[in-house]
Chain A
Amino acid sequence: MRVAGEVLSVKRVGAHHHLTLVAPGVAERFRPGGFVALGVGGPLSESLLRRTFSIYRARPTGAYGGTVEVVFPVTDPGTEWLARAAAGTAVDVVGPLGRPYALPKEPVACTLVGSGHGSAPLFGLAERLRERGCGVHMVLGATTGAELFGALEAKRAAKTVVVTTEDGSVGITGRPTDVLPELLSRTATDVVYASGPTPMLHAAALAAEAHGAWSQTAVEQEMACGTGICLTCVLPVVGEDGVTRMVRACTEGPVFRGDRVRWGDIGSVPEDAWGAPRVGGPR
């Protein structure tokens, strides 16, 4: 759905910005792993395309009506505008979009791994998993301490919390996936949930596979429309039939089974993909 939203607040959280929007109707439909596409720059903006953000929290009711929260770093003029937006600024919201994280039917052990602001969607997920009686463990990583997100909240959300930074400023020195093999064994994890940049998701999917766990990975692909129309956010994913197809991160994803994504081929069209140019063919 599309709603005329409004900025309620923007707060700095370390290197990130935590934006709360009034967006009635979006929260009711939210499931962890879903995202919103926000119009940036206001009515006179020459920036046509939306920016997409994984949903951190969504509250259907409250003093301001339904709200949606996202967490992001400033990466371009569009996110810069959002970061500086005053309370009351009109922001057009389309969402929630995308296929959310699949939840286990049984109360199994789950490890949630996030990197930087990619950790944001894991908290709503942790809540849903706990409601189902699942054991929840979390690994949060970042390059530096300032880029970590939600380390304090994680203590409430999970039984086990491991924090890593690449510069060693907080927690264990290294990447979040470095600690996964040991943690997955120790917690007897059945499902790994991951959110963050592609190399991290790849490593998480491999660690899950080595341990014999399922993995659910939420990819971060740049999108133009977020609604499945423009076909610019595609990545190679192997289907049930063993055939690789270029599928849309926005509608077939953003959450994929980690063992289905051809991580090393993201960004290209593999030669054996459905419809790939045939060698010696006309195009």
Chain B
Amino acid sequence: MSDVDLTTTVAGLTLPNPVMTAAGCAGTGKELDQFFDVSELGAVVTRTVTLDPVAGAPMPRMTATPSGMLSAVGLQGPGLQGFLATELPWLAQRRARAVVSIAGATLGEYGELARRVGNSPGVTAVEVNLAIANGDNRGRDFASEPYQAAKVLEVVRRDVPRGIPVLAKLSADVDDIVDVARAVTKAGADALVMINAVRGMAIDPRTLRPTLGAVTGGLSGPALHPLAVRCVWDVHEALPEVPVIGVGGVRTGYDALELILAGASAVQVGTAVFADPTTPMRVVADLRHELARRDIACVADVVGRAHHQEGDRP
């Protein structure tokens, strides 16, 4: 069982295993490092870094929903300077593969973040959070229109040094995720991360008013998993040459394998970390077991396997 090869390649990066944390679900890395060695993960995706410090959304920021949670934290964080001064160096010193998630309110902000993050030591890849209101486009999310999303990726790809892959994190709250996938890849995205939390809402049974301080929030957790599998499937079907990182409701090894079979070369673990901080490394062990019991020697061999017609069950 230990001879299962979990090595995977995404956009030119070779990772020892395909399990990463999802943006905003690993803290600074230090919080999880109390439970396991974060350098053993395929990669650690940082919280989304903004140019200026952000205090975040009003309370309540979270409510539990069936098989998931609804949250609106508002990207609370120390801003780029604070991040580069403390959080990134710690990850680098721990030899964790750091994928830095960035978000700007304008194209100019994305460009500045891309330049400054891309030129900092210890960055394995840059992940572009597009679920941000576009100050230049009536506040609509960058992720919601292929054209706007592509413009962001163009700017970021231009400003991040070659050799550091740029990943585009896509939202499922769109007419056709394949259109967005095609547009951002054409604009320079080296891989796609799918899917971000979807917009949701809950109403408080006592006050009969919206539960979250920000009114709406992102629905995440296992409730989202089939939607993530479908999105990965659709995009891999249409763009089989584009590397995909699957994210959405992963809490078991089979959840991870399902995304891989649909076309993902790696997966991210998000909300399940809140429920159990040891989840990411458990998923690594679980995935190894899921592959071994199916006599699969290399995880890389089954990326997109569910699309193949040959029939012989892996």
- Interface residue tally on A, bucketed by range: 20 to 34
B221 and A48 within 8 A (CB): yes
A269 and B58 within 8 A (CB): yes
Q: How far is the CA of A48 from the CA of B31 in the complex (A)?
A: 19
Interface residue B285 (Cβ < 8 Å from any Cβ of A): no
A269 and B55 within 8 A (CB): yes
A282 and B272 within 8 A (CB): no
Given A228-B31, A246-B76, A274-B55; A48-B272 close (CB under 8 Å): yes
Q: Would you list which residues of chain B between 59 and 79 have a CB under 8 Å from chain A?
A: 59-62, 64, 66-69, 71, 73, 76-79
Given A48-B222, A49-B274, A282-B135; A269-B68 close (CB under 8 Å): no
Measured CB to CB, the closest approach of chain A to B156, in angstroms, equals 19
Interface residue B106 (Cβ < 8 Å from any Cβ of A): yes
Q: How far is the CA of A268 from the CA of B214 in the complex (A)?
A: 11
Measured CB to CB, the closest approach of chain B to A231, in angstroms, equals 5
Interface residue A173 (Cβ < 8 Å from any Cβ of B): no
Complex: chain A residue closest to B274, CB-CB: A225
A48 and B67 within 8 A (CB): yes
Measured CB to CB, the closest approach of chain B to A182, in angstroms, equals 34
B76 and A46 within 8 A (CB): no
Interface residue B238 (Cβ < 8 Å from any Cβ of A): no
B222 and A234 within 8 A (CB): no
Chain B CB within 10 Å — which of A2, A229, A282 has the most? Answer: A229
B55 and A229 within 8 A (CB): no
Q: How far is the CA of A198 from the CA of B180 in the complex (A)?
A: 46
B55 and A227 within 8 A (CB): no
Given A48-B275, A49-B275, A246-B56; A283-B105 close (CB under 8 Å): yes
For residue A47, which residues in chain B have a CB less than 8 angstroms away from its CB? Answer: 64
| Secondary structure class of chain A's binding surface, majority of residues | loop
For residue B55, which residues in chain A have a CB less than 8 angstroms away from its CB? Answer: 245-246, 269, 273-277
A228, A266, A275: the one contacting B76 at CB < 8 Å is A275
Complex: chain A residue closest to B278, CB-CB: A2
How does the 8 Å CB contact mask read for A251-283 relative to B, with 1 for contact and 0 for none?
A: 100000000000000111100011111000011
How does the 8 Å CB contact mask read for A151-184 relative to B, with 1 for contact and 0 for none?
A: 0000000000000000000000000000000000
For residue B58, which residues in chain A have a CB less than 8 angstroms away from its CB? Answer: 267-269
A49 and B73 within 8 A (CB): no
For residue B73, which residues in chain A have a CB less than 8 angstroms away from its CB? Answer: 230-232
For residue A282, which residues in chain B have a CB less than 8 angstroms away from its CB? Answer: 105-106, 135
Chain A CB within 10 Å — which of B271, B277, B278 has the most? Answer: B277
Interface residue A92 (Cβ < 8 Å from any Cβ of B): yes
How does the 8 Å CB contact mask read for B118-140 relative to A, with 1 for contact and 0 for none?
A: 00000000000000010100000
For residue B4, which residues in chain A have a CB less than 8 angstroms away from its CB? Answer: none
For residue A224, which residues in chain B have a CB less than 8 angstroms away from its CB? Answer: 62, 64, 69, 71, 274
Complex: chain B residue closest to A2, CB-CB: B278
For residue B77, which residues in chain A have a CB less than 8 angstroms away from its CB? Answer: 275
Interface residue A141 (Cβ < 8 Å from any Cβ of B): no
Complex: chain A residue closest to B139, CB-CB: A283
Q: How far is the CA of A276 from the CA of B76 in the complex (A)?
A: 9
B26, B59, B60, B276: the one contacting A92 at CB < 8 Å is B276
Q: How far is the CA of A265 from the CA of B276 in the complex (A)?
A: 31
Q: How far is the CA of A266 from the CA of B31 in the complex (A)?
A: 24
Q: How far is the CA of A234 from the CA of B62 in the complex (A)?
A: 11
Interface residue A222 (Cβ < 8 Å from any Cβ of B): yes
Q: How far is the CA of A282 from the CA of B69 in the complex (A)?
A: 28
Q: Which A residues are within 8 Å of any B CB, using their own CB?
A: 1-2, 39, 46-50, 92, 94, 222, 224-225, 227-232, 234, 245-246, 251, 266-269, 273-277, 282-283
9 more contacts with CB within 8 A, not counting A266-B59, A282-B105, are: A48-B68, A225-B277, A227-B35, A228-B31, A229-B27, A232-B71, A269-B58, A274-B53, A282-B106
Closest 3 CB pairs of A and B: A275-B53, A232-B62, A225-B274
